[in-house]
Amino acid sequence: MDELMAQRARKIEEFRARGVDPYPPRVTRTHTAAEAVAAVEALPEGAGEADAGSVHVAGRVVARREMGKATFVDLQDASGRLQVLLRQNAVGPDDYSLFGLVDLGDYVGFEGTPMRTRTGQPTVGATSWVMLAKALHAPPEKYHGLADAEIRQRRRYLDLIANEQTREVFRIRSKAVAAIRRFLDSRDFLEVETPVLQEAAGGAAARPFVTHFNALEEDRFLRISLELHLKRLVVGGFDRVYELGRIFRNEGLGFRWNPEFTMLETYEAYSDYNGVADMVETMVSSVAQEVLGRTTVTWRDHEIDLAPPWHRLTMRDALLDHSGIDLFEVRTEAAMRTELTRRGVTAAPTSGYGKLVDEAVSHFVEPHLIQPTFLLDYPVELSPLAKRKPEDPRFVERFEVFIGGFELGNAYTELNDPIEQRARFEEQVRLKAAGDDEAELMDEDFLFALEHGMPPCGGFGMGIDRLVMVLTGQASIREVILFPQLRSQKG
RNA sequence: GGGCCCGUAGCUCAGCUGGAAGAGCAGUGGACUUUUAAUCCAUUGGUCCAGGGUUCGAAUCCCUGCGGGCCUACCA
């Protein structure tokens, strides 16, 4: 049935019949592809082939141009591509003909000398070659690459083989995460790890995934945020902590939503949401500078400048500007629902005041927040874990940060009054009973921690995937997650 | 969950109002010792996503299912 595969399998047998192991255990490699190219470029002007030392390179054969008794091979490794020239008079007729058994996708190694072709192309002139691993399937098409979105996501290895842009996105992601760690480490933040499996998933408004702990015969919930455990650590005296970890929200898929995603949360005692905003704009811009070499990015046709200072405006002003709704006056669920209805926005009947405000902001304000913007001071109903503004207790000291019209992160001056925190949880419990299945749960253990005293503290959370979308200009979160969630394939 | 679109060779795609399944790349055989989307000659390769229906006849039209994309909804 699969004739191409059968042909390749026969070549494996042919290698063995000619005394060659098609899957040898190791290889000598002295140079990556990029280093070999550099070795060529280091050659003095007019140097002959014999003047250069020998190099060993290894990689996947991604292109092959056969010209009788000479063959050009494009070898790809993690550092890039390298052209190798295999000539019969250099490797001998037996090894040259044996190379006929090599297909696109196979791994091979070459020993040879750095040289240039007639056109000046850096090349390794092979003096010998070894088989490293036979591929049973052909790689994707050499010119158009792999375009099918489903194959690209389900079989990311093929996408990585075929598309340099994909490789670059994930290199940038890795470098960005490393840069974030360096940034926080240099500011004396301690990186910690907290439980993924939790007795109650709190710290965010989201539905959790449920699993079962067999040994204890208890259900567990996959975490939906990092917040409540990290604050326990602040209580414990680790006054600058962060965690970079996977969280899980039982929600739908969309261009900026994947049910498991990577969250950064930071908590800094003796700071507040203003201090956090300063840190965030510095961190994101310096990560961009470090990883991209610039602070400007293009995202969905928008030119975005990440250099500080970022815009800061209150939610009240923003909503007033874009919708005419004044949060100082529209203070009840019924009034807000009326305002939304009047403007043609329909909200879920179970939404309380907080969710309606959120709806209004999502609809009228967020699409305008293209350049990095801190939206400040949220209604207390929307923020059960944040500290009230002393001058106006209807609002809390909280910001969400937006770039390109979507939310990138969230921060607040942490509520550290255990009595008020208990009252806020009780309100959430009431909302939950009224049908809001994303309301917070009472967390007695967390309250007990707060009752031991937590210093004033600024906390921050950011979706790493979304940051990488901005840094790489990718319009979909699936393009920045190596293996995004997809429906399982049946049959 | 709702709307629109897509599924044809290993890959990228064409196939019109129903009338003998195609191209390029990859593969196979051959020529070629400086090519680079190599070139030239010849050639293999199909569950047209699956199932059902309409029809003398279906890749094409209809229905259902599966998978995917975009939009939307849920979603701090």
Cβ contact A43 with chain B strand, < 7 A? no
Q: Which of residues 118-157 of A touch strand B (CB under 7 A)?
A: 118-121, 123, 125, 137-138, 140-151, 153
CA-to-C1' span, A3 to B45 (A): 8
Q: Which of residues 379-418 of A touch strand B (CB under 7 A)?
A: 382-385, 400, 407, 410
Which nucleotides of strand B lie within 7 A of protein CB? 1, 10-13, 24-28, 31-39, 44-45, 47, 66-76
Predicted local confidence at residue A80, as pLDDT: 93
CB under 8 Å, gap of 24 or more: what pairs does A271-274 form? A271/A456, A271/A457, A271/A458, A272/A397, A272/A413, A272/A456, A272/A457, A272/A458, A273/A376, A273/A397, A273/A398, A273/A399, A273/A411, A273/A412, A273/A413, A273/A458, A274/A458
Dist. CA A300–CA A200, nearest whole Å? 38
Among A46-50, A61-65, A340-344, which is the least confidently predicted range?
A: A46-50
Residue A491 has pLDDT above 50, yes or no: no
Q: Which residue has the tokens 């690209």?
A: A152
Dist. CA A304–CA A199, nearest whole Å? 41
Q: Which nucleotide is nearest to A440 (CA to C1')?
A: B76
Confidence of residue A49 (pLDDT cuts 50, 70, 90): low
pLDDT digits (tens, 9 = 90+) for A432-453: 887 777 788 899 999 999 999 9
Predicted local confidence at residue A334, as pLDDT: 87
Predicted local confidence at residue A204, as pLDDT: 87
* Mean pLDDT, residues A321-347: 86
Q: Which nucleotide is nearest to A147 (CA to C1')?
A: B12
Q: Which nucleotide is nearest to A146 (CA to C1')?
A: B11
Among A3-12, A97-106, A458-467, which is the least confidently predicted range?
A: A3-12
Closest CA to A325 of A312, A311, A342, A308: A342
* Mean pLDDT, residues A332-348: 82
Name the token pair of A38.
């550099």
Dist. CA A282–CA A265, nearest whole Å? 16
* Mean pLDDT, residues A8-13: 93
Predicted local confidence at residue A51, as pLDDT: 63
pLDDT digits (tens, 9 = 90+) for A195-224: 999 988 888 888 888 889 999 999 999 999
Residue A192 has pLDDT above 50, yes or no: yes
ipTM: 0.88
Dist. CA A466–CA A472, nearest whole Å? 10
Q: Which residue has the tokens 């470090």?
A: A290
Residue A349 has pLDDT above 90, yes or no: no
Cβ contact A65 with chain B strand, < 7 A? yes
Cβ contact A4 with chain B strand, < 7 A? yes
Please list, in sequence order, all residues whose beta carbon lies within 8 angstroms of the beta carbon of residue A12, skipping any fewer than 6 positions away.
A22, A134
Average pLDDT, chain A: 91
